[in-house]
Amino acid sequence: MNKALIKTDYNFPNQTKVYKGKVRDVYTINTDLLVMIASDRISAFDHVLPKGIPFKGQVLNQVATMFLKATEDIVPNWLLATPDPMVAVGLACEPYRVEMVIRGYLSGHAAREYKAGKRILCGVEMPEGMKENDKFPTPIITPATKADEGHDEDISREEIILQNIIPEEEYIQLENYTRALFQRGTALAAEKGLILVDTKYEFGKKDGNIYLIDEIHTPDSSRYFYAEGYEERQRKDEPQKQLSKEFVRQWLIENDFQGLEGQSMPVMPDEFVEVVTERYIELFEKIIGLPFQQEDASHIEERVERNILAYLKEQGL
């Protein structure tokens, strides 16, 4: 029986630090190597849902690996190896405290803000007369401060520079990287009949150099629409067919949960968990263009530990 990897509690040789995120568990080896485990946890509205999604971590890790390799000519990235389908090993960088969010379409958070009457998002003006899922004339960058706990907060370019969160010269470089990465991701998605709607990138510094870190272009960090039928659905004011985590958010909204005070997390039925797994696998197969090979998940904790230990041993650690 396949299990979901909900939590990890490893103790690797030369381990100096452990960070447990909403979805990823990160183990620092010495001071310069990160072992990042993509768990099967799923989060929405900055809350971790009570059940894990089998194979979600494998999907995220393998999709991110493909896109990191496909964009390394644009910006150096942190990835060194993937010793297990759910594990990435790479350089420990000092992360910038801002996520670079870029939006090609009026969807998700931007659409909700627009519907509430706002026309400025993170200091960027959104044109009048748009409807949900319309394409912006030019993709807009809407950064968010990266919170250790609780909600990430929208922030403008001006505030980032004014508060010296990121020096102006470096922030401009991050914007340039963000636009180039989004352009590449858009082109790769189009080859597979998909539209990259919006996404986020995280960056860090090591030895004075900027690196792309964490995952990119995965269903957790990005929203995809099917290109076929997009225009017709917009004309008819129909919801877009999409591959992203948004349908999980919509399910939560329908069950009266948006992470607000006083709201209770709904119970996820097993049938819904299966649907979520299927949607993640569908995205993998659509965007990678290959059948998804389900790794043996019957003893998932032991497998992950065994593969990481073998890699560290090979590295003499």
Segment 73-93, tens digit of pLDDT: 999 999 999 999 999 999 999
Q: Which amino acid is at 155?
A: I
Q: Is the pTM of this model over 0.95?
A: no
pLDDT value at position 147? Answer: 65
Token representation of residue 292: 């998804």
- The full set of domains in the chain, from first to last, is 95-244 (3.30.470.20)
- Pair 45, 38: CB distance under 8 Å: no
What Cα–Cα distance (Å) separates residue 150 from each residue in 122, 160, 222, 272? 19, 19, 20, 25
Q: Can you list the alpha helix ranges (DSSP code H) found in 192-245?
A: 230-235
pLDDT value at position 290? Answer: 92
Q: State the 10-residue block means of pLDDT for the chain, 317 residues long.
A: 87 95 94 96 89 94 96 98 97 96 96 96 97 97 79 89 95 98 97 96 97 92 94 96 83 91 90 92 90 92 97 94
Backbone angles phi, psi at 145, to 5 degrees: -70, 140
Q: Which residues pair with 141 in a beta bridge?
A: 102
pLDDT value at position 50? Answer: 87
Looking up tokens 């299927």, which residue turns up? 278
What Cα–Cα distance (Å) separates residue 142 from each residue in 98, 179, 235? 10, 12, 27
pLDDT value at position 244? Answer: 75
- Pair 68, 77: CB distance under 8 Å: yes
Summarize pLDDT for 109-153 with one digit per residue, the tens: 999 999 999 999 999 999 999 999 999 999 999 999 976 555 678
Token representation of residue 63: 């999709």
pLDDT value at position 187? Answer: 97
Region for 164 from its dihedrals, namely left if φ exceeds 0, alpha if ψ lies in -120 to 50, beta otherwise: left
